[in-house]
Amino acid sequence: MHLHLKIVIWIVVGITGCSYISAQNNPLNMNALYTADPTARNWGDNKIWLYTSHDVPCMASYSAMNDWHVFSSKDGISWKDYGPVLSLDKLNQQGWKVYNAWAPDCVKKDGRYYFYFPVKGMEDKVWKIGVARSKKPFGPFEKPVLVVANWGIDPNVFVDDDGKAYLYCQYKMGELNNDMVTVKEETVVELKDVAHIPYSHYEGPFVFKRKNKYYYICSSEGYKRLIYYMSDRPLGPWEYKGTLMAPDERPAENNHASVVKFKDKWMLFYHRKECNKARKICADYMAFNEDGSIKEVIRTDKGIKF
């Protein structure tokens, strides 16, 4: 073949191949780590921050999960890993006697970052929610203390525009005091009182606000389907609005999601099963209808890029 023709073919194949590769951003490129349960946050520094669980490659059980990671990205393509920012080893060295480092969350209040995590007691088998603090978004998160027990798993904290903070878990929701640790008992609502489906299905809650409406997203159908609710108040009453993301045909072992607005775009971060029970994080754009309801998010392999 003529040399010039060969060069032209190489260039065309190279460009096409590169654009194909760069168009495939799901799952997110996290240095081959298996990560799950993403909470995406925008701290106003031109990056998206992700607070995640950490799965053991191709694990057979969620009880293999030992620590939590933090990542940040300026473009949605490459993600910086800040390593384990808190671990069961560290908690147990401090006398916690717990296992199952499951879905975490992180919020910023008055210049501090509060990292909320669920862990299960080795002896009493009770799920506990703890919080540790840092002056930096990437931790390390120190001085872990117990927030609540028997609220189930998957803590999420929403800080409203007036500075009030609310804690949401699998079974209950309520307002936090200014210390971000203790709960105002008189505000506590049990999810079974507001749910339209059995409350054990209300896992992976995440609350956000848009145009004075509160959105409560969570997993249902054994974690496979993401659904959402809307309200005029942070603790409800909540109106059921339907599917946010349908089950994955792969099939997904489960799903757990969060929502962030970044550079004027709304995005849904979620995870999908990749190997056995181990998961990887994905993200897709999210859009709203005129009436404030959310358009169902369709999973893509393309993902996000900003």
Residues 197-216 contacting ligand FUB, CB under 6 A:
203-204
Which of 166, 254, 272, 294 contacts ligand FUB by CB under 6 A?
Answer: 254
Neighbours of 262 (CB within 10 A): 18
Among 38, 137, 138, 154, binds ligand FUB (CB under 6 A): 154
- The H-assigned helical ranges of 43-138 are 88-93
Residues numbered 260-299 forming contacts with ligand FUB, rule: CB under 6 A? none
CB of 53 to ligand FUB, least distance (A): 5
Nearer to ligand FUB, 77 or 195 (CB): 195
**Secondary structure of residue 9 in the 3-state scheme:** helix
* Cα separation values, 154 from 150, 206, 302, Å: 12, 9, 28
Binding residue (CB under 6 A) for ligand FUB from 34, 62, 238, 269: 62
| Closest CB to ligand FUB among residues 72, 254 | 254
Question: Residue 36 interacts with ligand FUB (CB under 6 A)?
Answer: yes
Q: Which residue reads 């480092």 in tokens? A: 101
Can residue 227 be called a binding residue for ligand FUB (CB under 6 A)? Answer: no
Among 33, 70, 103, 147, binds ligand FUB (CB under 6 A): 103
Nearest to 159 by CA among 263, 39, 3, 248: 39
By the 10 Å C-beta count (0-12 exposed, 13-18 middle, 19+ buried), 306 is classed as middle
- The answer, yes or no, to whether the previous bond of 234 is cis (omega within 30 of 0) is no
Side chain identity at residue 105, one-letter code: D
The residue number whose beta carbon is nearest to ligand FUB equals 102
Nearer to ligand FUB, 194 or 252 (CB): 252
Please give the residue ranges that form the binding site for ligand FUB (CB under 6 A): 36-37, 53, 62, 102-103, 153-154, 203-204, 223, 254, 256
